[in-house]
Chain A
Amino acid sequence: MNPTRLLYRGSEWNFDLIRRLHDAIEEVALDELGLDVYHNQMEVITSEQMLDAYAAIGMPLMYRHWSFGKKFAREELLYRKGAQSLAYELVINSDPCVSYIMEENTATMQALVIAHAAFGHNHFFKNNQLFRQWTRADRVLDELTYAKNYLAECEQRYGIEAVESLLDSAHALMSQGVDRYAPRRQSLAAQEQKAKARRDHFEANYNDLWRTVPSARNASDSESVRESNQKTQIERAALDLPRENLLGFLAQHALKLKDWQREVLEIVRRLAQYFYPQRQTKLMNEGCATFTHYEIMNRMYDRGQIDEGAMLEFLHMHSAVVTQPPFDSQAYSGINPYALGFAMMRDIQRICDAPDDEDHQWFPEFAGNGDAMTTLRNAWAEFRDESFVLQFLSPRLIREMRLFLVGNRAESRFVTVDAIHDDSGYRDIRRQLASQYDLSNQEPDIEVTDCDLKGSRRLVLTHRVRNGKLLNKEECNRTLRHVANLWGYRVKMLETDVDTGITLDEFDAVPMP
């Protein structure tokens, strides 16, 4: 090892070292790994500021709401008690990509963070198609500044309480505030245009003379009934039912909302939409970042840029991050996305470089292609967690992690082991694990299905029940009340089984006076 190439010794860091680390890491990341990143911005913060950032769902700028205060109070207590350590880093999907690093970190931790966040996550944000399609990295910070100022202004103008209760309602519907399939904006504009065209047509064909023609009373009645029916139909068509984006629907169509309230709902909806790709790619994103920092640190060690002490410190931290406790351990809290993500990336690398027969059989497209980085970069760009697992989880990894599939029926006194890591089980385990990452499977499928525009103006929501997974009743009633408050009239929720079409349960809520 050539000591003159060493970037640092010991644990002290300074701003100059951060710059040198960044440049050295950049060289490896761009030239050797072929990553493609937004411009980087590193911000040094204290642990207290990290707690602040946590509490504001990881965003550097956030409007005020009591729930963030609650989160802060909770995080702070856990942190003080030592029950929870702080993450070493926090990274924001923005352009330039902002990474927070803590002043308490050692030099090695800073190197790890830069490799992990400023290159791993950064590359993922910039290249993954979900982020490309749904988020505008260059606008995020502006949007957040706008939201923060707008809400502060609303608080001044309409009172903290009014804004708070509106945000409460909007937050309750955040997971029903995303468009899952296609960007809705264009289609909304198209909708409006259509509605306008229809209106124009009516206006053009309206002949006032007809009004003066005497006719039988009955006839005129049925005429006006038909006319109003037609009107209702047009209005209904403009609602574009069924709609799955409940929050968006309310922002556009709730009759009693003031303009500022609509804008607040829109702000929350955009926030929900901004986070939606992150929720769908947690496994891949962390896997990508963890793999990246692992590769970079190892390559820097090979180049003689970091010494053995630093490498040991790094490996210690790295293995803590990628630990997967077994299901029957006290420490088990679900499948660790860092562990599984990292293992899958390494596995893909292995399959590309040194496949065995099983790999050739399972992954004929890329086994032994000898170009792991290209394969990985393609995977990072094109997949989301669900499809990634479905495509890339190998039998070997299933064996290594000793994954098994358990079935649980509410009415049974037993859970059953439906598949284990053997030939007959691989595909079932893979399919099920993939569906666990499919948010549309994990979250209730709720749609706005009907809306009585003529009479009571009651709104009807439908929960499409799969596998008998009903809503939590108490939470449903409470959430439905929020919907009613926003809608302004009575709201009904039907729980309908997808397969049989039978309505299993029904909820009803009226707005608070």
Chain B
Amino acid sequence: MHVIDRRRNPKSKSLGNRQRFLRRMKSHIREAVNQSLRSRKIADLEGSQEVSIRSKDLREPSFHHDAGAGHRDYVLPGNQEYQQGDRIAKPDTSGGRGSKGSPDGDGEDHFSFVLTRDEFLNLFFEDLELPNLAKKKLKSMTSPARVRAGYSKEGAPQRMNLRQTMRRSLSRRIALGRPSKSEMAELEALLHKAELEADDAEVKRITSLLHSKRIRLQRVPYLDTVDLRYRQFESVPRPTTQAVMFCLMDTSASMTEELKDLAKRFYMLLHLFLNRHYGAVELVFIRHTYTASEVDEDTFFHGRETGGTIVSSAFEEMLKVIRDRYPVEDWNIYAAQVSDGHNFDYDMPHTLELLEQHVLPLCQYYAYIEVGDEIFPGSSILWEGYTPLTERHKNFARAEVIEASEIFPVFHDLFGHATLRG
């Protein structure tokens, strides 16, 4: 009999099959993913996702009898009360247990399974692409990173590598014949024994041997400076993939909690999206009423202020933050402005000038989302003011969102391939 440990065999032998399965079901799964987004909070996107697909393609057909047709007898266990000749009314006539004949025991149209987070997000972000990413990458997206580069003979004490050092020490001691502790102890024991036996010749021999060994012991140090080895590091340029995302929002009283929630969902989606393309994404929240300020996330979504609306103040604040902390050479800058579209008339020229002359040239992409105005969609003062920008600037896009369910399609439109081409 053989016992074989197969636990170390490569795992997920089914991976190839799973990939084939996902590929085949792609269109259905994509739909299921979109569907699940509509009913779920975007915060739930982390982690694996159970999806359910409704698909006839999934069933593998075979020739088998129709469960409802013909005359069939069957034997059942556990009879308690029935006598021969009893008649039992069939449960509702609509086919009864229709799933019976299905080869995989799965007669229903739904098929549920779990997608891993990566599989889920891959599908989720399929076809989406960050505009102008390539251009920026070519520019200067490098920063030095320290990587290990073997060992050196010199270095700071805290970088000493004990293993390498002791290895060299040992080989040097062996090569130079430094007697070991046990060797000495043995000799001394022999000497002691010889002394007891009063074997003078032997005592003499061992004493001289011990003497020479002691000298050697002193001359050959246990640890020498030539043994020392230090870990060595080197700087290598590494491409950085960092981005900063500016969230601009009008937080005056007209922005209700509901509208902010819409905004939040959009930002989360954007953040998740940027996260997949960059190692690190920083967030800057700027809210404004008649003045603008940088705030933390919580205040951003939950704070409430009153007062008029001056959009230009937000741009000024954003430009200030960029000047202070996010040099354009190092950072990919994205901005998304969510607003219900209000602004004071007198501020519009300044707003447009700031946006067009200063903000847009710095941004990889700038998205304007107008939320909530159901009565006159797309006719707000900001929307109209921004209209000429859409033609002049490829990195500017805008859309309106009225319900949460529209966020993904809008997001898709804003960041999909179409925007790039068009």
Chain A interface (Cβ < 8 Å from any Cβ of B): 15, 18-19, 22-23, 26, 39-46, 48-49, 51-52, 55-56, 64-74, 76-77, 80, 96, 100, 103, 160, 164, 168, 171-176, 324-329, 332, 335, 401-410, 412-422, 424-425, 429, 432-433, 436, 443-444, 446, 463, 465, 467-473, 475-476, 478-479, 482
Interface residues on B, range: 35 or more
Chain B residue nearest to A171 (CB atoms) is B60
Q: Does B215 reach chain A (CB closer than 8 Å)? A: no
In the assembled complex, 5 residue pairs joining A and B whose CB atoms fall closer than 8 Å, in A order, are: A175-B64, A176-B63, A417-B82, A468-B70, A475-B63
The answer on a CB contact under 8 Å between B60 and A168 is yes
The answer on a CB contact under 8 Å between B20 and A160 is yes
Bound complex: CA A332 to CA B66 (Å): 21
Q: Does B17 reach chain A (CB closer than 8 Å)? A: yes
The answer on a CB contact under 8 Å between A67 and B1 is no
Question: Across the interface, which residues of A come within 8 angstroms of B152, CB to CB?
Answer: none
The answer on a CB contact under 8 Å between A19 and B1 is yes
The answer on a CB contact under 8 Å between B5 and A77 is no
Bound complex: CA A431 to CA B129 (Å): 67
Question: Across the interface, which residues of A come within 8 angstroms of B16, CB to CB?
Answer: 64, 69
The answer on a CB contact under 8 Å between A69 and B76 is no
Question: Across the interface, which residues of A come within 8 angstroms of B4, CB to CB?
Answer: 41-44
Bound complex: CA A116 to CA B112 (Å): 33
The answer on a CB contact under 8 Å between B66 and A46 is no
The answer on a CB contact under 8 Å between A175 and B19 is no
Given A49-B6, A64-B16, A326-B80, 10 other A-B residues pairs in contact with their CB atoms under 8 A: A45-B6, A66-B20, A66-B24, A327-B78, A417-B88, A421-B79, A444-B65, A469-B72, A470-B70, A471-B63
Q: Does B93 reach chain A (CB closer than 8 Å)? A: yes
Q: Does B104 reach chain A (CB closer than 8 Å)? A: yes
The answer on a CB contact under 8 Å between B3 and A469 is no
The answer on a CB contact under 8 Å between A46 and B7 is yes
The answer on a CB contact under 8 Å between B6 and A44 is yes
The answer on a CB contact under 8 Å between A414 and B90 is yes
Question: Across the interface, which residues of B come within 8 angstroms of A55, CB to CB?
Answer: 14, 17
Bound complex: CA A40 to CA B4 (Å): 11
The answer on a CB contact under 8 Å between B79 and A404 is yes
Q: Does B163 reach chain A (CB closer than 8 Å)? A: no
Question: Across the interface, which residues of A come within 8 angstroms of B79, CB to CB?
Answer: 326-327, 402-404, 420-421
Closest Cβ of chain A to B55, distance in Å, is: 10
Bound complex: CA A96 to CA B63 (Å): 35
Chain A residue nearest to B2 (CB atoms) is A41
The answer on a CB contact under 8 Å between B70 and A469 is yes
Per-position 1/0 for B55-90, Cβ under 8 A of A: 000101111111111111111111110111111111
Closest Cβ of chain A to B11, distance in Å, is: 6
Question: Across the interface, which residues of A come within 8 angstroms of B88, CB to CB?
Answer: 406, 414-417
Pick from B14, B75, B106: contact of A68, CB under 8 Å = B14
Bound complex: CA A503 to CA B194 (Å): 115
Pick from B58, B63, B111: contact of A476, CB under 8 Å = B63
Which of B12, B23, B58, B63 has the most C-beta atoms of chain A within 10 angstroms of its own C-beta?
B63
Question: Across the interface, which residues of A come within 8 angstroms of B68, CB to CB?
Answer: 410
Chain B residue nearest to A444 (CB atoms) is B63
The answer on a CB contact under 8 Å between A402 and B65 is no
Pick from A44, A407, A414, A479: contact of B5, CB under 8 Å = A44
The answer on a CB contact under 8 Å between A414 and B73 is no
Question: Across the interface, which residues of B come within 8 angstroms of A52, CB to CB?
Answer: 11-14
* Known A-B contacts A402-B79, A421-B79; A472 and B101 likewise in contact (beta carbons under 8 Å): yes
- Which 10 residue pairs of A and B lie closest in terms of their CB atoms, listed nearest first? A326-B78, A69-B21, A468-B70, A69-B17, A73-B113, A469-B70, A478-B61, A327-B76, A66-B20, A404-B79
Bound complex: CA A72 to CA B18 (Å): 7
Which of B2, B23, B60, B93 has the most C-beta atoms of chain A within 10 angstroms of its own C-beta?
B60
* Known A-B contacts A69-B22, A72-B14; A407 and B84 likewise in contact (beta carbons under 8 Å): no
Question: Across the interface, which residues of B come within 8 angstroms of A402, CB to CB?
Answer: 77-80
Per-position 1/0 for B274-309, Cβ under 8 A of A: 000000000000000000000000000000000000
Pick from B11, B20, B66, B114: contact of A472, CB under 8 Å = B66
The answer on a CB contact under 8 Å between B63 and A175 is yes
Chain B residue nearest to A404 (CB atoms) is B79
Question: Across the interface, which residues of A come within 8 angstroms of B20, CB to CB?
Answer: 64-66, 69, 160, 164
* Known A-B contacts A164-B20, A327-B76; A410 and B86 likewise in contact (beta carbons under 8 Å): no
Bound complex: CA A342 to CA B9 (Å): 35
Chain A residue nearest to B18 (CB atoms) is A69
Q: Does B50 reach chain A (CB closer than 8 Å)? A: yes
